[in-house]
C-alpha cells in the first residue's frame, strides 16, 4: 500500500474523555471547534493560516468572548477534520488509501486552497492520488470503497470517476502487462502455492497471468459500486464476455454466502446481476443463472428480471446439470424446457416470437436436454407426493427429442413405480408408454425383465425386441412362427408377472443368447426358442383366440389371420408401448 507523510512535528493531539480532543502545548488554546459533537481545543493562528472556511467562521462570531464554532457537515467527520488540523499545525500525518479521499473532501470543505497558502492540503492530496493511488490496483479499489460514505463530495471532486477509470482500465489491460499484486484464490497459480516458476537455461520464466486475475479483488465491493465498475469494464469492450461472466459468478457466490440472511440485499443482488449479464449466449454459466432463479423464486421477485433468467436458462439448458435443476420445482423446469423447445419454432416463425436471434437447436444439445430431463425425472420420482400427471407432462415435452438410449427414462419410470406402488394398472400403462423398449440397452433389458413393478405387456415387449436384437446380430435369416403363442386379454397384458415367470424369462433369454452365439447352424433353433419362451409365459393364461380384445394387436405376440409368419425387421415398428 502506498503512503505519504506530511509534516515533521510530533503529534501532540490527545484525548480527554470520549468527546474531547486537545493539543498538548504550553500555549493555551483559544478556539473550540465542535465537529459532530466532538470538541477540539485548538489555536486560531495555525488553523486560520490554511483554511479560508475557518477564517469565515471565526469572523462571524457574534461575541468576541465566544470562542466555539460548529461544524456538523464536514465530509469524513471528526477523523478527517483532525487530519486537516494536524496538517495546519505541521504535525506528522500519514496519508494512505484508507484516509486520502476523506482528507481530500474535508480539505475542500475547509477551503484549504493554494490561494490561502502554498503547498496546501488540497494540492498535497491531489498529487498523492494522481502519482500513487490511481497507479496502484488495490489502492484504487480501497479508495473507491471509501468514496461511498463521502458522497456527494467524492463525486463532485471526481474521485469516484477517477477510481472507476483506474480500476476498469487495469482490468481491461493485457494480462501480460500486469505487474502489481492481486488476489487469486479460486485456482491458485503455482507460485502462489509455494511452487517456484521453472528455470529455462538458467533464467526463471515469468508465469502467465490469468485473464480473470482481477475478478476476486472486486468481490468485496458493495453491490452499487460493483455495478458501476462492471458497467464501465463492459463499455470499454476489451474484456471477453466469458471473463465478465466469471466475475459475476464469483461475486454472487461471495455475496450469497455473506448475506444469506438479508433478503433485501439478496433481492438487490439479483436485480444488479441480471442487469449486468452479457448479451452473448453462454457468457454466464448455467449453474449461476439457475442459482439466481432459485433465489428470485424464493423471494418472489417478479417482472422482467425473472423473465430474463427464464429466457437465458432455457436457451442454454443443455449446459445445465441435474444438481442444478434438482432444487427447482417441476413447474419451473417445465417452463425452462418449453423455452428450449420453442427455439426450433422460432426458426419458422421468428417474427412472432422474441427469440429472433435463434436459428436452430443443435441436435447434440437436444440429446443433452433429453438426458438431463430423464435424470431429473429420476430424482423427483423419489418424491412420494409427486403427481403422475406432472411426471408424464414433463417427459412428454422431451419425447420429440430423439436420443439413442431410453435407459434414463426407464430408470425414472422404475423409480416412480417403486415410490408410488399404489398407482392403478392404467396409470402403469400410461407411464410405461413414455419408454421405447427398442432403445433399451442389454443391461437395462435384463433389469426390466426381472422388474416385478412393470406391467406384463412391457416385459413381453422388452423380451421380444431383445430376442430380435440377439438374433439379428448373428445375421439370422430364419424365423420362427408366432402362431404358437396364445392370445391374452387386456387385463392379463397389464398384470404384473410373477417371480416364477420372471425367473423363467431370465433363464430362457440367457439360453437364447448362448445358443444364438454358438454358430450360424443353430440360428433356426434359437428363433424357435423364442416361441417356447413366450409360450411358457402364457401357459397358465390360455384363452380362446376368438375372444381377443381390441387392443391385443398391440402386443408383440398377438396373432392375426392376415399376419405373415415371418418376423422381419419391418414388424418391429408395430411393437411399441403406444
pLDDT tens-digit profile of 104-116? Answer: 999 999 999 999 9
What is the mean pLDDT of the segment spanning 317-333? 91
Q: Could you please state the CATH topology (level 3) that the domain comprising 1-170 is classified under.
A: Potassium Channel Kv1.1; Chain A (3.30.710)
Q: How does residue 565 score in pLDDT terms, banded at 50, 70 and 90?
A: very low
- Residue that wins the pLDDT comparison between 48 and 402: 48
Residue in this structure with the C-alpha cell 413366450, named with its chain if needed: 534
pLDDT of residue 139: 95
- pLDDT, position 280: 86
| 66-75 average pLDDT score | 89
Which of 32-46, 49-63, 495-509: highest mean pLDDT? 32-46
Percent of the chain with pLDDT over 70: 74
pLDDT at 344: 67
C-alpha torsion 228→230→236→242, nearest 10: -170
In this model, does residue 555 exceed pLDDT 90? no
Position with higher pLDDT, 468 vs 121: 121
Would you say residue 76 has pLDDT above 90? yes
- Note the pLDDT of residue 473: 61
Residue 22 in this model has a pLDDT that exceeds 80 = yes
CA gap 90, 7 in Å, rounded: 5
Question: What tens digit of pLDDT does each residue of 524-543 get?
Answer: 444 444 445 555 454 434 34
Q: 180-197 pLDDT, tens per residue?
A: 888 877 555 444 444 444
With a CB cutoff of 8 Å and minimum separation 6, the contacts of 322 are 372, 375, 376, 379
**Residue 204 backbone phi and psi in degrees, to 5:** -75, 125
Indicate if the pLDDT at residue 89 is higher than 60: yes
pLDDT-derived band at 510, boundaries 50, 70, 90: low
- CA-CA distance, 438 to 389, in Å (whole number)? 24
Query: What ranges do the domains of the chain cover?
Result: 1-170, 436-578
Distance CA 24, CA 77 (A): 22
* Tens of pLDDT, residues 353-362: 444 444 466 7
Average pLDDT over residues 172-176: 89
Residue 273 clears pLDDT 80, i.e. is over it: yes
The pLDDT confidence band at residue 1, using thresholds 50, 70 and 90, is: confident
**How much is the average pLDDT of 30-43?**
92
Q: Is the pLDDT of residue 570 over 50?
A: no
| Poorest-pLDDT segment among 121-130, 230-239, 460-469, 505-514 | 505-514
Percent of the chain clearing pLDDT 90 (strictly above): 47
- Peptide bond just before 397 cis, omega within 30 deg: no
Helix or strand holding residue 5 (H, E): strand 3-6
Pairwise CA distance, residues 410 & 403, whole Å: 13
| In contact, 515 and 525? CB cutoff 8 Å | yes
Q: What is the mean pLDDT of the chain?
A: 79
Is residue 577 over pLDDT 60? no
pLDDT at 488 exceeding the cut of 50: no
Q: What is the DSSP letter of 259?
A: S
Question: Cβ neighbours of residue 545 under 8 Å, at least 6 residues apart?
Answer: 486, 487, 559
pLDDT at residue number 376: 94
Q: Please check the confidence at residue 96 and state whether its pLDDT lies above 80.
A: yes
User: 346: pLDDT confidence band, cut at 50, 70 and 90?
Assistant: low
**pLDDT of 499 above 60:** no
Amino acid at each position: 500500500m502506498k503512503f505519504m507523510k506530511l509534516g515533521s512535528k510530533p503529534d501532540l493531539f490527545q484525548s480527554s474523555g470520549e468527546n474531547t480532543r486537545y493539543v498538548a502545548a504550553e500555549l493555551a488554546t483559544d478556539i473550540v471547534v465542535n465537529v459532530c459533537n466532538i470538541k477540539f481545543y485548538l489555536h486560531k493562528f495555525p488553523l486560520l493560516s490554511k483554511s479560508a472556511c475557518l477564517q469565515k467562521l471565526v469572523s462571524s462570531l457574534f461575541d468576541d468572548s465566544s470562542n466555539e464554532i460548529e461544524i456538523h457537515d464536514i465530509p469524513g467527520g471528526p477523523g478527517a477534520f483532525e487530519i486537516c488540523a494536524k496538517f495546519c499545525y505541521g504535525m506528522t500525518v500519514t496519508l494512505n488509501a484508507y484516509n486520502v479521499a476523506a482528507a481530500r473532501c474535508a480539505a475542500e470543505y475547509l477551503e484549504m486552497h493554494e490561494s490561502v497558502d502554498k503547498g496546501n492540503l488540497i494540492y498535497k492530496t491531489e498529487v498523492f492520488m494522481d502519482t500513487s493511488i490511481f497507479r496502484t490496483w488495490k489502492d484504487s479499489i480501497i479508495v473507491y470503497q471509501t468514496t461511498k460514505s463521502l458522497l456527494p463530495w467524492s463525486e463532485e471532486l471526481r474521485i469516484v470517476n477517477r477510481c472507476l477509470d483506474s480500476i476498469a482500465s487495469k482490468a481491461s489491460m493485457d494480462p501480460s502487462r500486469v505487474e502489481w499484486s492481486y488476489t487469486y484464490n479460486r485456482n491458485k497459480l503455482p507460485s502462489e502455492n509455494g511452487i517456484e516458476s521453472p528455470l529455462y537455461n538458467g533464467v526463471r520464466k515469468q508465469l502467465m497471468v490469468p485473464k480473470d486475475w482481477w475478478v476476486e479483488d472486486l468481490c468485496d465491493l458493495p453491490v452499487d459500486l460493483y455495478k458501476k465498475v462492471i458497467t464501465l469494464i463492459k463499455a470499454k469492450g476489451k474484456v471477453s464476455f466469458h471473463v465478465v461472466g466469471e466475475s459475476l459468478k464469483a461475486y454472487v457466490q461471495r455475496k450469497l454466502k455473506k448475506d444469506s440472511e438479508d433478503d433485501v440485499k439478496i433481492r438487490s443482488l439479483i436485480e444488479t446481476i441480471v442487469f449486468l449479464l452479457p448479451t452473448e449466449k453462454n457468457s454466464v454459466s448455467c449453474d449461476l443463472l439457475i442459482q439466481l432463479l432459485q433465489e428470485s423464486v424464493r423471494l418472489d421477485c417478479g417482472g422482467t428480471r425473472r423473465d430474463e433468467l427464464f429466457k437465458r436458462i432455457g436457451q442454454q439448458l443443455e449446459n445445465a446439470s441435474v444438481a442444478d435443476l434438482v432444487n427447482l420445482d417441476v413447474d419451473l423446469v417445465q417452463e425452462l424446457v418449453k423455452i428450449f423447445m420453442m427455439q426450433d419454432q422460432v426458426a419458422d416463425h421468428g417474427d412472432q416470437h422474441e427469440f429472433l436471434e435463434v436459428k436452430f437447436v443443435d441436435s447434440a444439445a437436444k440429446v443433452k436436454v433429453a438426458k438431463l430431463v430423464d435424470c431429473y425425472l429420476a430424482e423427483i420420482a423419489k418424491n412420494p407426493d409427486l403427481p403422475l400427471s406432472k411426471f408424464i407432462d414433463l417427459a412428454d415435452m422431451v419425447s420429440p427429442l430423439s436420443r439413442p438410449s431410453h435407459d434414463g427414462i426407464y430408470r425414472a419410470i422404475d423409480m416412480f413405480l417403486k415410490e408410488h406402488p399404489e398407482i392403478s394398472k392404467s396409470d402403469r400403462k400410461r407411464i410405461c408408454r413414455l419408454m421405447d423398449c427398442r432403445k433399451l440397452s442389454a443391461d437395462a433389458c435384463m433389469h426390466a425383465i426381472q422388474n416385478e413393478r412393470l406391467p406384463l405387456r412391457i416385459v413381453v415387449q422388452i423380451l421380444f425386441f431383445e430376442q430380435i436384437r440377439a438374433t439379428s446380430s448373428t445375421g439370422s435369416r430364419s424365423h420362427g412362427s408366432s402362431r404358437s403363442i396364445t392370445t391374452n386379454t387386456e387385463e392379463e397384458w397389464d398384470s404384473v408377472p410373477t417371480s416364477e415367470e420372471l425367473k423363467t424369462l431370465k433363464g430362457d433369454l440367457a439360453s437364447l443368447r448362448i445358443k444364438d452365439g454358438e454358430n450360424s447352424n443353430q440360428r433356426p433353433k434359437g428363433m424357435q426358442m423364442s416361441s417356447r419362451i413366450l409360450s411358457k409365459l402364457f401357459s397358465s393364461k390360455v384363452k380362446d383366440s376368438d375372444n381377443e380384445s381390441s387392443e391385443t394387436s398391440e402386443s408383440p405376440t398377438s396373432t392375426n389371420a392376415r399376419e405373415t409368419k415371418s418376423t422381419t425387421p419391418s414388424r418391429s415398428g408395430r411393437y411399441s408401448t403406444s
